[in-house]
Amino acid sequence: MTVAPLELARRQFLGRMTTGLTGVALARLLRADLFGAAGGGVLPHFPAKAKRVLQIFCPGGASHVDLWDHKPLLEKFHGTPLPGGDAEVTFQGKNGNLMRSPWDFAPAGRSGKMISTLLPHMARHVDDMAFVHSMTSRTNTHGPGCIAMNTCFTREGFPSAGAWISHGLGTLNENLPTFVALQDIRGEPPNGKANWGNGFLPAQHQAVVLAAHQPLRNLARPGSISEAEEEATRAFLAQANAGHAEAHPGNSELRARIAAYELAARMQLAAPEVSDLSREPAHVHALYGTNDANMLKASYARNCLLTRRLLEKGVRYVSLYCASRASSVDGLLNWDAHKTLKADYERHAPIFDQPTAALLADMKQRGLLADTLVIWCSEFGRMPTHQEGTAGRDHNPDAFTTWLMGAGVKGGVSHGATDDFGRRSVQDVATVYDFYATVLHLLGVDHERLTYYHNGSNRRLTDVHGHVLKGVLS
């Protein structure tokens, strides 16, 4: 432990600088005390392909058979019973006959991957994507499903992948959070904050919530306080704390808290700067669609643009949500199309498609994809049948699609497959454990060795399961 923060406090008091400390010593202190990397120099376990992660999450159970997983037989057998699936009872009740996708699929890219025509912009990226078509979930319920897709556990209280990575690898920057969650303007995803929580890890590993429509809480000094008053107050505080710390040698927490105030001051400068989208040229705004007439799309597009800026500035893990929770009307606020698949997805897909595709294109063009891993998730898929009494689909935890892209990922490939109708994953069946074993692997972390003792177990992100999905690695 060094005395750098005390030096800082003194300098601050002398009024020479308010945010000056850039020393390696402080960086180390912050890393250890404020960001809490697992420490001991054990991580990464091996050379990493990816330095940071962008997770895009479409909550509500985005339908694999209507977006990514082309099932020609569904068209052919539309209106006939699912073989072997007579009157199957799933989450909301009985199922009807097979129901074709309301949208055609078309080949895209050099790979010729069949993608729903509902996603024309995303289709341009298929050659960079590695699809996992054989995902399965342990739950058919949104809340547990979403937290499972983020924490690998269906019950609350476990750390999210972003928190684990914050814990394991620490920060990449000195004035912004390590882990940021951008929730949709329509609200929180199912199970809310548990999706980006620290669980039993220390609190500093939880995501900081901010978005284009939602500044970081308590970032700005109160309006009633002038800059001069702020500076004088902080100087007085720093002096008092420096004196107190000197009178209490051997208590490193006191120094850490002084440093935390300094870091807070730096965040107060850095966060508004990174959030200031007006610094982006008009053509970039146009690319993302930030001024789209559809307010929901424009809002999500702004979050996409903010995401790129956060990643550029060294935020380690960004969770970007497109849509929110289950409302009184299924499928209104998220991808949960129980009753009116066509109307629902014609509402959700345009919000998602162009801005996300723009974000990926922008990242690629700037070289960010070289060391950023992009993952796309939903908590489960949907049934190939329609739900009895409706023109929608019920939850399907037995089959869904995720994809990866960017650092260390082989583009244009597909891992695993579902059966002829997309009812079940049947080939190279994958789990969320495998998914995150792969994510950690790309970050240079052995998922079996990143552990934390809690309540009787050395816990892992991947519980006691997980195999790296080798087929998606470049």
Partner 1 sequence: MGRRCGKSKWALLAAGLLTAARVNAAEAAGVAFFEQKIRPVLVEHCYECHSDQAKKIKGGLRLDSRAGWLTGGDGGTAAIVPGQPEESLLIRAVQHLEDDLAMPPKKPKLPDAVIADLVSWVKMGAPDPRDGALVEAKRADKSWWSLQPLRAADPAVGVGPEAIDHYIEVSLKEKGLALNPPADARALIRRMSYDVTGLPPTPEDVAAFAAAYRSEPQRAVAELADRLLALPAYGERWGRHWLDVVRFGETIGFEVNFPINDLWPFRDYVIRSLNEDKPFNRFIAEQLAGDVFGKDQPETEVGSAFLVAGPYDSVGNRDVVAQKNIRAATLDDLITATSGAFLGMTIHCARCHHHKFDPIPTEDYYRLRAAFEGVTHGRRVIASAEERAAFKAATDPLNDQRAKLVKDRDTLEREVTRRAKEAADKVVATRSKVNPELTEERFEPVAVRAVKLVMTASTTNPKSAGGSRIVEFEAWSAGDGARNVALASNGARAEGAKSAVAEDFPEAYGAHLAIDGLFGEQWFIGTPAVLTVTFAKTETIDRVSFRNAKDLMTEDKAQGATPTDYEIQVSADGETWRTVASSAGREPWSAAHAIERMRREVTTPEEAKQIAALSAEIAKVDRALKAVPPLREVWAGKYAQPEEGTFVHKGGDPMKPGEAVVPASPTMADRVVPSFALPADAPEGERRRALGEWIVRDDHPLTPRVLANRVWQYHFGTGIVDTPSDFGFLGGRPTHPELLDYLARRLVAVGWRLKPLHREILLSRTYRQSGAHRADAARVDQEARLLWRFPPRRLGAEELRDTMLHVAGKLDRKMGGPGFRLYKFTQNNVCTYFPLDRHGPETYRRSVYHQNARASVVDVLNDFDLPDIAFAAPRRANTTTPLQALTLLNHSFTTDMAQALADRLEHGSGASSSEKIDAAYAIAFQRSPTAEERAAGAKLIETHGLTAFCRALLNMNELIYLD
140-169 residues near partner 1, rule: CB under 8 A: 140-144, 154-157
Q: Count residues near partner 1 (CB under 8 A).
A: 110
59 binds partner 1 (CB under 8 A): no
Among 10, 11, 31, 193, binds partner 1 (CB under 8 A): 193
Give the residue with the Cβ less far from partner 1, 208 or 439.
208
Among 86, 218, 278, 293, binds partner 1 (CB under 8 A): 218
**Phi-psi domain of 258 (left: phi exceeds 0; alpha: psi -120 through 50; beta: other):** alpha
- Look up residue 440 and give its two tokens: 């950690």
Report yes or no: 246 and 236 within 8 Å, Cβ to Cβ: no
97 binds partner 1 (CB under 8 A): yes
Minimal distance in Å, beta carbon 236 to partner 1?
Answer: 5
Rg (Cα) of the chain, in Å, rounded? Answer: 24
16 binds partner 1 (CB under 8 A): no
Among 117, 233, 291, 427, binds partner 1 (CB under 8 A): 233
Among 264, 361, 417, 426, binds partner 1 (CB under 8 A): 264
Give the residue with the Cβ less far from partner 1, 18 or 390.
390
Considering only residues 380 through 399, tell me which ones interact with partner 1, judged by CB under 8 A: 386, 388-391
89 binds partner 1 (CB under 8 A): yes
139 binds partner 1 (CB under 8 A): yes
What letter represents residue 260's amino acid?
A: A
CA distances from 148 to 157, 224, 288, 396 (A): 11, 44, 30, 15
> With the C-alpha atoms ordered 413, 419, 424, 426, is the resulting torsion angle positive or negative?
negative
Considering only residues 405 through 464, tell me which ones interact with partner 1, judged by CB under 8 A: 451-458
Q: Report which DSSP code applies to 130.
A: E
Stretch that binds partner 1, among 196-204, 298-306, 359-367, 407-415 (CB under 8 A): 196-204
Query: Binding mask 323-342 vs partner 1 (x if CB under 8 A, - otherwise)?
Result: --xxxxx--xx-----xxxx
Among 2, 22, 117, 251, binds partner 1 (CB under 8 A): 251
- Look up residue 333 and give its two tokens: 């606020």
Among 25, 106, 277, 343, binds partner 1 (CB under 8 A): 343
* Look-up of token digits 């499972």: 148
Among 81, 85, 109, 202, binds partner 1 (CB under 8 A): 202
Closest CA to 341 of 75, 99, 143: 99
Among 92, 171, 418, 425, binds partner 1 (CB under 8 A): 92
267 binds partner 1 (CB under 8 A): yes
Minimal distance in Å, beta carbon 353 to partner 1?
Answer: 17
| Alpha-carbon span 93 to 413, nearest angstrom | 35
279 binds partner 1 (CB under 8 A): no
243 binds partner 1 (CB under 8 A): yes
Give the residue with the Cβ less far from partner 1, 109 or 192.
192
Angle between the N-to-C axes of helices 227-247 and 4-13, in degrees from 0 to 180, rounded to the nearest 10:
140
Query: Binding mask 30-49 vs partner 1 (x if CB under 8 A, - otherwise)?
Result: ---xx-x---x----xx---
248 binds partner 1 (CB under 8 A): yes
Instruction: Give the chain's count of helices (H) and strands (E).
Output: 12, 19
Q: Do β-strands 129-135 and 413-415 pair in parallel, antiparallel, or remain unpaired?
A: parallel
Minimal distance in Å, beta carbon 154 to partner 1?
Answer: 7
- Residues contacting 450, CB < 8 A, separation 6+: 38, 43, 164, 167, 168, 440, 460, 461
| Alpha-carbon span 349 to 119, nearest angstrom | 7
222 binds partner 1 (CB under 8 A): yes
Considering only residues 171 through 190, tell me which ones interact with partner 1, judged by CB under 8 A: 186-188, 190
Minimal distance in Å, beta carbon 363 to partner 1?
Answer: 27
28 binds partner 1 (CB under 8 A): no
**Phi-psi domain of 157 (left: phi exceeds 0; alpha: psi -120 through 50; beta: other):** left
* Helix, strand, coil shares, percent, the chain, to 5: 40, 20, 45
Q: How far apart are the first and last CA of the chain?
A: 41
27 binds partner 1 (CB under 8 A): no
20 binds partner 1 (CB under 8 A): no
* Look-up of token digits 């240079």: 444
Residue 152 has, within 13 A of its CA and on its CB side, a CA count of 23
Query: Binding mask 454-473 vs partner 1 (x if CB under 8 A, - otherwise)?
Result: xxxxx---------------
